[in-house]
Amino acid sequence: MRTALIACWLMLGLAAPAGAAAPAPAPAKTDAQVSPEALALALARLMAPSELRVSAELREFDLHFKETLLQQREVKELDEKYPGLVDAMARSVRPLVAEQTIKVSDGVHPAIAKILVTELNPREIAELSAYYGSPAGRNWMRAMANSIDASDIYKSAITGKEPTQGDADGQLFIASMKAMGNVSDADRQALKTLMASPVYSKLRVVQAQLKKIIMEASLATDPEYEKRVEEVMTAAVADHITALEASSSKPSK
């Protein structure tokens, strides 16, 4: 079963904009002096923010990782024999999940920016940046992140089935419906204004390319990461069993 990045590939919801918890740092120079590539990279960071992806991934990990492991009979039997074993495994892996999510999220920004700077002019990039960096945009993006539900993805993962783009689109649609009820009327109006704009029509044209970049990066095999996960989980199991056996061997007073 994949141990991380189950949810984070869902985070770029361009059909109903999703994005950052905070604006990307503004370039030190004025927009007139900043290259289109730099502006596009700043927009990419707004649209696919690492901090929101980490919080969403860890939330889904906390909700579903233990439950998913316990669906395996041998793991369930070990956890019954050594109570708390699966909790120990989850605690050992959680920091690596956060670290890997940041690595993957940061890694896709240049690829997203390359598409944005090719398909949009500087004025259009500035228009999108104004929304994604605004309070209304950030509120919507946070609502989307909080509405992601990766339970079905975790259930599929136990069988080795990787999510598809169709799975991603379905999850994003459900999340957008939930998010719509969790933002203010003003935020909804700002979103509708963006979606009625010409630049949003252009963004939708490249939407599939952008989502493909994120999905492929999130699901890519990383042997070094998987090795580290295996190592920390193995150590956590050994330490937990040793501690329980030592505790049970102590003479009672």
Strands of the chain, DSSP E: none
How many helices and strands in the chain, by DSSP H and E?
Answer: 11, 0
Per the listing, tokens 């050594």 go with 82
Strands of 85-127, DSSP E: none
Tokens of 184: 């203010």
pTM: 0.79
Average pLDDT for runs of 10 along the chain of length 253: 44 40 43 83 89 89 90 92 95 94 91 94 94 91 86 71 72 84 94 93 88 83 92 95 86 59
Q: What is the 3-state secondary structure (H, E, C) of the chain?
A: CCCCCCCHHHCCCCCCCCCCCCCCCCCCCCCCCCCHHHHHHHHHHHHCCHHHHHHHHHHHHHHHHHHHHCCCHHHHHHHHHCCCHHHHHHHHHHHHHHHHHHHHHHHHHHHHHHHHHHHCCHHHHHHHHHHHCCHHHHHHHHHHHHHCCCHHHHHHHCCCCCCCHHHHHHHHHHHHHHHHCCCCHHHHHHHHHHHCCHHHHHHHHHHHHHHHHHHHHHHCCCHHHHHHHHHHHHHHHHHHHHHHHHHHHCCCC
Amino acid 14: pLDDT: 40
Those residues whose C-beta lies under 8 Å from the C-beta of residue 121, and which sit 6 or more positions away, are 36
Per the listing, tokens 């050994």 go with 238
Structural domain count, the chain: 1
Residue 11 lies in a domain: no
Amino acid 115: pLDDT: 95
Nearest C-alpha neighbor of 171 from the set 148, 154, 151: 148
41 C-beta neighbours (distance < 10 Å), count: 22
Residue 188 lies in a domain: yes
Amino acid 80: pLDDT: 95
Residue 6 lies in a domain: no
Domain housing 148? 18-245
Quote the DSSP letter at residue 23. Answer: P
Amino acid 32: pLDDT: 57
Q: What CA–CA distances, in Å, run from 12 to 9, 87, 96, 207?
A: 7, 30, 22, 9
Amino acid 236: pLDDT: 95
